[in-house]
Amino acid sequence: MKKKSIVLIVVLLLFGLTFLYFKYVYGWLEFQKNTDTPKEFLSHVEIKKDEYSRDSIKILKQLKFLLQNHEGSFYADDYFDSTELIVDSILYSPNFNRLAVFVMTKNPTYKQLDPNNKFDWYYDGSCYFGILQNDTIELYWLNDVLYTNYYDEQKLSNTIREFYFRMLASKDNNGKSRYLYNLNDIRFWNGPVWKEIEDKKIKKKEFEEEKKNHPENIYEPSKY
């Protein structure tokens, strides 16, 4: 009887230590189950191929500017003029005034901090959110997720989709969710993150006006 009690205590102790490890060390997001979107809320928005192509060109042009200036997700020094930009997928809101785009980069492995000579190329990936207005697209990166150093383009694409379609709605250690809904959820397009994006848009506009009217008040540290 005493031996069984000791075994039970050891098992409970190991379970407790495992729980604490995954919650505070490895990351709660990795420990919890996926938060799948209910079928009745799955988004099925489609767009014409020519419009999709035009938007892809606009997005690539804006991403190229960000990359050349090391802004957004392209802050690292290993991005350079020859970095290839890939628009993996574009997702739209029902009224086509908002979008999300899965973006990947392709770089030669010699640009890595610790080059892997087994491969010629490596891929990074992230997601940008966009506002469409008057035939223009304004992109925003929310500094949350950046996948790096993948050697298989399709594997990276699948990883991005897995997170944004199944785990974006997950709650953090405090029981809160920044996005509330997954990206394939029709409710996402009116979710709380768009208030955050609108605030960034206002601050950006205020900064540009101040820079134009009072450049002496603006300090921009070197990106290099």
Query: How confident is the model over 75-96, as pLDDT tens digits?
Result: 999 999 999 999 999 999 999 9
Amino acid 169: pLDDT: 93
Q: Could you tell me how far CA 82 lies from the centroid of its own chain?
A: 22
Does the pLDDT value for residue 15 go beyond 90? no
User: Is residue 173 predicted with pLDDT exceeding 90?
Assistant: no
pLDDT reading at 137 higher than 70 = yes
- Distance set, CA 197 to CA 46, 130, 154, 180 (Å): 23, 9, 29, 15
Q: Average pLDDT, stretch 45-56? A: 96
Q: What is the pLDDT of residues 178-201, one digit of tens each?
A: 999 999 999 999 999 999 999 888
Mean pLDDT (the chain, rounded):
86
For the stretch 30-39, pLDDT in tens is 334 467 899 9
Integer CA distances (angstroms), 220 to 67, 143, 207, 211, 224, in order: 17, 19, 11, 10, 12
Question: What pLDDT does 16 receive?
Answer: 56
User: Phi and psi (nearest 5°) for 145?
Assistant: -130, 130
pLDDT at 219: 65
- The pLDDT, as a whole number, for residue 13 is 65
- Give the pLDDT of residue 33: 47
Q: Which of 123, 114, 113, 56 is nearest to 87 (CA)?
A: 56
pTM of the model: 0.79
pLDDT tier, 206 (very low <50, low <70, confident <90, very high otherwise): confident
Give the position of tokens 């101040």.
Answer: 210
Please give the helix or strand (H or E) that residue 9 lies within, else none.
Answer: helix 2-20
Q: Please state, for a pLDDT cut of 70, what percent of the chain lies above it.
A: 82
- Tell me: the pLDDT tens digits for 101-119? 999 999 999 999 999 999 9
